[in-house]
Amino acid sequence: MSDQAFVTGILDILKEAVEGGEPGKGTAFLDGTKADGSGNHGLLATLDGLGAEQASRVTALGTTVASQAAHTAYHMEVVVRWERGDRGPFDWPNSFQPSVVDEDAWRELRDRVRRAYQDLRALATSNTNWDGDEPGGLAGALAHVTYHLGAVRQLIKLAR
């Protein structure tokens, strides 16, 4: 497999996880987005469907959707920082903050997730060297985002 085919495949699945499926087309693992755009189950649409109160509601698991969103953004940010040579230290324990948000902070947090995702995609599409940590970093980011998308979707069910 060529480096480009690997990157394209990973980015296609990452896009589905974050942006959701393309309207009216099949998907690799998410429920399909309908032709009219409804039924999008990607991370961004899922987060955008919540208000600050619901995102801040502590579930029986002891965490909130806001916490999961903050941590997911932080992880993508760290992958980009790492690939640019920053070796930390990274503050993983505080990466789950904020756990409670008001409407302004919730909007900012969702914007942060979007920016982190866009930065990760930009890094991957501009990279020409896939001999070091890059393949593992990108694959790890995909696994991490999809894990937390599942966690967020379960937390929403618990928070009802």
Q: pLDDT per residue over 87-135, tens digit each?
A: 999 999 999 999 999 999 999 999 999 999 999 999 999 987 777 788 8
End-to-end CA distance of the chain: 45
Q: How many residues does the chain have?
A: 160
pLDDT per residue as tens digits for the range 29-73: 888 778 877 888 899 999 999 999 999 999 999 999 999 999 999
pLDDT at 1 over 70: no
Which pTM value belongs to this model? Answer: 0.94
Q: Angle CA(124)–CA(72)–CA(38) in degrees, nearest 5?
A: 85
Which of 99 and 27 is assigned the larger pLDDT? 99
